[in-house]
Amino acid sequence: MSRILDGIDSPEQVRKLPIADLERLAAEIREELITVLSMNGGHLGPNLGVVELTIALHYVFQSPQDHFLFDVSHQAYVHKLLTGRRERFHTIRTPGGLNGFMLRTESPHDCYGAGHAGTALSAALGMAVARDKLGGKEHVVAVAGDAAFTCGITYEALNNIAHHTKRLIVVLNDNEWSIDKNVGAMASYLNKIVTNPRYDSLHERAGRFVERLGGKTALRVARRAEEAAKSILLPSVIFEELGLRYYGPIGGHDVATLIQTFEFLKKQDRPVLLHVLTQKGRGFEPAMQKQKKFHGLGPYDPETGETKPLSRRTYSEVFADTLVKLADFNEKVVAITAAMPNGTGLDRFQAHHPDKYFDVGIAEEHAVLFAAGLAVKGFKPFCAIYSTFLQRAFDPVVHDVCLQNLPVVFCMDRGGLSADDGPTHHGVFDISYLRGIPNLVHMVPKDEDELADMLFTAMQWDGPIAVRYPRGVGPGTPVKDVPALIPIGKAELLEHGENDRVAIFALGALVPMGQEIARKLEGEGYPAAVVNARFTKPIDTAILEFFARTVDVILTLEDHVLRGGFGSAILEELNTLGLSVPVVRIGWPDQFIEHGKIEALRAKYGVSVEAALEKLRPILQARTAAKRAFVK
């Protein structure tokens, strides 16, 4: 029997299907997701949970005329399958293939690109208001997971929706998970709605009351009775207080009911919120049993769900294991995550120190302010947030932590390229956005052991301090039993000879690249020193000045954008020192880098040994010729 999915090249073909065929289509989509992602990796659990929901949206509405916004958009794989990208779906998250998130340049059906949580409602409201002003008739539907309702931006949008538009559909996709189990008052609040056995019947009772009595007066009385009943059963229905008519909760895997409900909602003349209950990982038992693991993962066995074990500890694991030891030693050490205990490794810390562990939900701004409050009272907060997500908390970092010179430690996982995830997750801006802030120290380790040393150093530093480290495994350097204190602003000289022609200042994960460049330069007759820079702020000006006065050229290497990055800091310090020496900078260009494999992207954009040598050789050859001419 041929697959229904193989005949779907546009949403129009979905709408032509009999409703009776949609369950079969859902099963085929799940099979496709499990098969393709077993090879490419990706966000399996979230997409398995929204299959029927996405089918229903495309069955009722008309994309791209109508607009769907998926919060975070990592759950838009089903949407991609139904909007003309089925034949390319096997390329998802591979170089040159489909992106793992919504991408406006990829399809007209992707009306809004996103990769961070909390964006859908505000953007959808903006599109709805624009539609109203232009006299359009299209529908705007924002699909946001319950985790997005732990995010402050979502509340800011909720506060404005009813005031600015009369037509917007918000779908609350409630599966009780973000990456980990959701936390906080909103998660508890939604659970009360879901688990209250009497709430489901309230709308139905009000409707019957209106039918019996008839008229506008009866409708007002019914609405008051319904609201009063809600107030008795629940503290309040917050969404209705904010002006959104609440419907639900309904089953998110009953495609016929979803279609019927959306047909009703599209006719409403006020903003509405539909509460939909889904199961993350539905249809794949390993994903149902291990929801954290299958939120987003690499390749796996499509039968068992087993993944290939890593040969070495990841930087995240080294961070967490080191922090456990620091908390054993120092009772003031506490750890904060913004809904990323698994991604940052802090689930390992939680197991050892549950009383020192805080998950604040998807609320990076709050996380930093919360850390500032803890620091004021003498605690040592380690705030573990991905580099790309800490961007959201820039103002509290400046205004609340650094201005007050508070001893908060920013642990920035995914510093550098997060290759398969692409531009929304590449952590290539933090040096630029942090090093201009007074009082802040910024560190970058070359390996696992140096990360442990930097965390130990940060614990003892009486001021704001940040450490960035990459995604995935390190070079495999053993971590000492007792970490060492690193002098603030002191670089490490790894290789040095009497006649060095080049000084290579390498940062973090690019130190091995610097050592390889040095070996190749030595073979070409150009001896080179290699410096593990360690700090982007403060720069080790003593070692910089020494080499600036003795070598022909300085090379800087960084897994970061060049504009405002480490190489820029070196140029600024040389200017302050009044020294003029050629500087070759290797890093990422002034553009957003696509998803792909790290080595391929480095080769494409010149973050490589070969690119560095090509830039160095003309300078060295010219200097050599000038010296010979001078001797003559």
- Could you tell me which residue, 415 or 176, shows the higher pLDDT? 415
Task: For residue 419, give both structure tokens.
Answer: 């290759």
> Could you tell me the residue range of the domain that residue 597 belongs to?
496-631
Question: Is residue 185 pLDDT above 90, yes or no?
Answer: no
Question: Is residue 475 pLDDT above 90, yes or no?
Answer: yes
End residue of a domain, out of 414, 448, 468: 468
Is residue 501 domain-shared with residue 603, that is, in the same domain?
yes
Is residue 37 domain-shared with residue 171, that is, in the same domain?
yes
Question: Is residue 622 pLDDT above 70, yes or no?
Answer: yes
Asked, for residue 485, whether it belongs to a domain, the answer is no
Is residue 275 domain-shared with residue 329, that is, in the same domain?
no
Is residue 285 domain-shared with residue 326, that is, in the same domain?
no
The pair phi, psi for residue 141, each rounded to 5°, is -125, 120
Q: Give pLDDT, residue 592.
A: 96
Query: Exactly one of 32, 52, 364, 450 is catalytic; which is it?
Result: 364
Asked, for residue 220, whether it belongs to a domain, the answer is no
In a 3-state reduction of DSSP, which class is residue 170? Answer: strand
Tens digit of pLDDT for each residue in 551-581? 999 999 999 999 999 999 999 999 999 999 9
Our count of domains for the chain comes to 3
Closest CA to 420 of 144, 74, 109, 145: 74
Query: Exactly one of 86, 230, 280, 380 is catalytic; which is it?
Result: 280
Q: Give pLDDT, residue 202.
A: 46
- CATH code at position 268: 3.40.50.970
Is residue 324 domain-shared with residue 248, that is, in the same domain?
no
> CB of 561 within 8 A of CB of 590?
yes
Tens digit of pLDDT for each residue in 128-142? 999 999 999 999 999
Query: What H or E segment, with its residue span, contains residue 306?
Result: none
Task: For residue 456, give both structure tokens.
Answer: 């130990």
Asked, for residue 391, whether it belongs to a domain, the answer is yes
Mean pLDDT value of segment 406-432:
95
Band (pLDDT 50/70/90 cuts) for residue 181 is: low
Is residue 445 domain-shared with residue 582, that is, in the same domain?
no
> CB of 58 within 8 A of CB of 10?
no
Band (pLDDT 50/70/90 cuts) for residue 196 is: low
Q: Give pLDDT, residue 236.
A: 39
- Mean pLDDT (the chain, rounded): 90
Q: Could you give the CA distance from residue 168 to residue 274 in angstroms, rounded to a whole number?
A: 11
> CB of 19 within 8 A of CB of 262?
no
Among 18-22, 194-198, 255-259, 518-522, the least confident range: 194-198
Question: Is residue 222 pLDDT above 50, yes or no?
Answer: no
Is residue 170 domain-shared with residue 277, that is, in the same domain?
yes
Place of tokens 């994903």: 287
- CATH code at position 594: 3.40.50.920
Band (pLDDT 50/70/90 cuts) for residue 486 is: very high
Asked, for residue 215, whether it belongs to a domain, the answer is no
Is residue 128 domain-shared with residue 32, that is, in the same domain?
yes
End residue of a domain, out of 289, 306, 323: 289
Question: Is residue 224 pLDDT above 70, yes or no?
Answer: no
Mean pLDDT value of segment 197-226:
47
Tens digit of pLDDT for each residue in 525-549? 999 999 999 999 999 999 999 999 9
Asked, for residue 381, whether it belongs to a domain, the answer is yes
End residue of a domain, out of 448, 468, 488: 468
Is residue 418 domain-shared with residue 457, that is, in the same domain?
yes
Percent of the residues in the chain that have a pLDDT greater than 70, as a whole number: 89
Question: Is residue 211 pLDDT above 80, yes or no?
Answer: no
Q: How many CA atoms lie within 13 A of 296 on its CB side?
A: 19
Asked, for residue 378, whether it belongs to a domain, the answer is yes
Asked, for residue 371, whether it belongs to a domain, the answer is yes
Is residue 281 domain-shared with residue 383, that is, in the same domain?
no
Asked, for residue 82, whether it belongs to a domain, the answer is yes
The predicted model scores a pTM of 0.86
Is residue 584 domain-shared with residue 449, that is, in the same domain?
no
Band (pLDDT 50/70/90 cuts) for residue 156 is: very high
DSSP 155: H
Closest CA to 184 of 149, 143, 157, 153: 149
Is residue 268 domain-shared with residue 331, that is, in the same domain?
no
Tens digit of pLDDT for each residue in 326-362? 999 999 999 999 999 999 999 999 999 999 999 999 9
Band (pLDDT 50/70/90 cuts) for residue 22 is: very high
Residue 364 annotated in active site: yes
Band (pLDDT 50/70/90 cuts) for residue 284 is: confident
Question: Is residue 114 pLDDT above 50, yes or no?
Answer: yes
Query: Exactly one of 392, 468, 537, 602 is catalytic; which is it?
Result: 392
Query: What H or E segment, with its residue span, contains residue 250?
Result: strand 245-251
Question: Is residue 628 pLDDT above 90, yes or no?
Answer: no
Among 187-191, 291-295, 311-315, 444-448, the least confident range: 187-191
